[in-house]
């Protein structure tokens, strides 16, 4: 991707095509890579203000002793590429599960086990990578993507709670399967833009029973995987469905999947509605906890796990730029590490250095936003960021 970049944001390893400001005053002898900070400082000394960058050609630096942070960034971006592959493969597997459920075929858990194991390994290695990737969503694929995302979320949550890996595996599989019964819900109800009528809602609620009946016949399914699928719509006050289970009968794991399921449903866009920013999703989770629908302690723990600004969230900075949250700062949660990628005035993608908001005072987050708000596509954003590595 070709982007215009301020010289103050240029870093070693970028590939410069030409000088764009001041216009017609300077010319490059030839396009090439910035090999050292000395070259950048010389550009600044001469008064060069903006340059044109080819982000697809950026490369790692030879002097590894000086650029550990650059290597960390490249490692993170490589993990993002792996995570994107796992997420896409998960959707393909999910599509096959829906096909089998619709046609009365037994579910094949082997590919589910394999892909959830890959997700778990990725999360245990770098929990931020898949957290970023589950924000790459497509409005017309909500049914496929939701169960995959809930599986990722409960894995991240379980990792944060330091649960045993075998338990995490069973939770991830149960979450991956939890909505398979929705394939039996009529599309006109599943994708209805407005509020469902009472009769329509009763039909919608049947998906939970369909899911349980389909999952429990799957060869090799564990009791724990079935449990989280069975409990994902139950509420502590006993007003959930399909069985109206009350708090003393809802396990910790059932409480966890309810939180993950609702959070993803709130923050995902669909054909007929836009999702909420993550921060708004957190406030709704807290309201549900206050009304005794969700476990308040687990909701607060989930928010701490995800971070005030979750990894992968898009935020607007007071410099009138958009950035993606790359990692948390546990000591100062409102100041994570971010990666600016888009200037709002004039509107254009820009290659910029990471910013650790905890270490500076002249930049801060104004609000959590959605890419859709600015007619941007998360696929394009992630591709742009990955190419910078």
Per-residue pLDDT, 125: 75
Instruction: Over range 25-40, report the average pLDDT.
Output: 80
Q: How far is it, in rounded angstroms, from Cα 366 to Cα 319?
A: 9
Q: What is the largest CA-CA distance in the chain?
A: 74
pLDDT of residue 229 exceeding 80, the answer is yes
Residue 65 has pLDDT above 50, yes or no: no
If we measure between CA atoms, which residue out of 2, 5, 59 comes closest to residue 353?
Answer: 5
The pLDDT value recorded for residue 359 is 87
Mean pLDDT score, 318-333? 87
**Mean pLDDT estimate for the chain:** 87
Distances (CA, A) of 296 to 46, 266, 289: 58, 18, 5
In degrees, rounded to 5, the angle at the alpha carbon of residue 327 between the alpha carbons of residues 81 and 225 is 70
Chain position carrying tokens 């836009």: 274
Give the CATH superfamily of 67-306.
Answer: Hypothetical protein af1432 (1.10.3210.10)
For 260-364, where are the E strands, in sequence order? 314-317, 321-327, 337-344, 347-349, 355-356
The Cα–Cα gap between 2 and 54 comes to 5
Q: Domain ranges for the chain, please list them.
A: 2-59, 67-306, 314-387
Confidence of residue 67 (pLDDT cuts 50, 70, 90): very low
DSSP letter (8 states) at residue 330:
T
Rg from Cα positions in the chain: 23
135 pLDDT tier (thresholds 50, 70, 90): confident
Distance (Å, whole) CA 299 – CA 276: 17
Does the pLDDT of residue 139 top 80, yes or no?
Answer: no
DSSP-based three-state secondary structure for 99:
helix
- With cut-offs at 50, 70 and 90, classify the pLDDT of residue 154: very high
| pLDDT at residue 291, as a whole number | 97
């Amino acid at each position: 991707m070709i982007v215009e970049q301020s010289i103050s944001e240029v870093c070693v390893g970028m590939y410069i095509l030409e000088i764009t400001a001041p216009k017609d005053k300077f010319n490059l002898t030839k396009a090439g890579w910035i090999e050292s900070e000395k070259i950048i400082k010389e550009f600044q000394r001469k008064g060069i203000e903006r340059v044109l960058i080819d982000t697809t050609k950026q490369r790692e630096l030879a002097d590894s002793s000086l650029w550990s942070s650059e290597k960390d960034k490249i490692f993170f971006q490589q993990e993002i590429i792996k995570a994107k592959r796992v997420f896409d493969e998960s959707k393909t597997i999910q599509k096959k599960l829906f096909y089998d459920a619709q046609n009365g075929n037994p579910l094949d858990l082997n590919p589910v086990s394999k892909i959830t194991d890959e997700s778990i390994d990725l999360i245990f290695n770098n929990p931020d990578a898949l957290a970023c990737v589950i924000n790459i969503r497509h409005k017309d694929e909500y049914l496929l993507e939701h169960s995959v995302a809930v599986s990722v979320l409960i894995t991240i949550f379980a990792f944060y709670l330091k649960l045993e890996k075998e338990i995490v595996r069973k939770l991830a599989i149960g979450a991956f399967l939890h909505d398979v019964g929705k394939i039996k819900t009529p599309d006109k109800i599943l994708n209805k833009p407005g509020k469902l009528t009472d009769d329509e809602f009763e039909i919608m609620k049947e998906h939970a029973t369909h899911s349980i009946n389909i999952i429990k016949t799957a060869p090799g399914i564990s009791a724990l995987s079935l449990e989280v699928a069975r409990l994902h719509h139950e509420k502590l006050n006993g007003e959930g469905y399909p069985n109206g289970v009350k708090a003393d009968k809802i396990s910790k794991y059932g409480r966890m999947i309810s939180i993950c399921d609702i959070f993803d449903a709130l923050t995902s866009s669909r054909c007929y509605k836009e999702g909420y920013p993550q921060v708004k999703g957190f406030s709704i989770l807290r309201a549900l906890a206050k009304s005794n629908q969700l476990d308040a302690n687990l909701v607060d723990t989930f928010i701490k796990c995800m971070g005030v600004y979750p990894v992968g969230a898009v935020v607007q900075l007071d410099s009138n730029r958009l950035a993606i949250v790359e990692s948390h700062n546990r000591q100062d949660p409102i100041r994570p590490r971010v990666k600016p990628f888009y200037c709002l005035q004039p509107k254009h993608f820009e290659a910029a250095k990471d910013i650790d908001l905890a270490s500076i005072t002249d930049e801060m987050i104004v609000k959590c936003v959605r890419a859709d708000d600015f007619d941007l596509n998360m696929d394009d954003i992630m591709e742009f960021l990955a190419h910078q590595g």
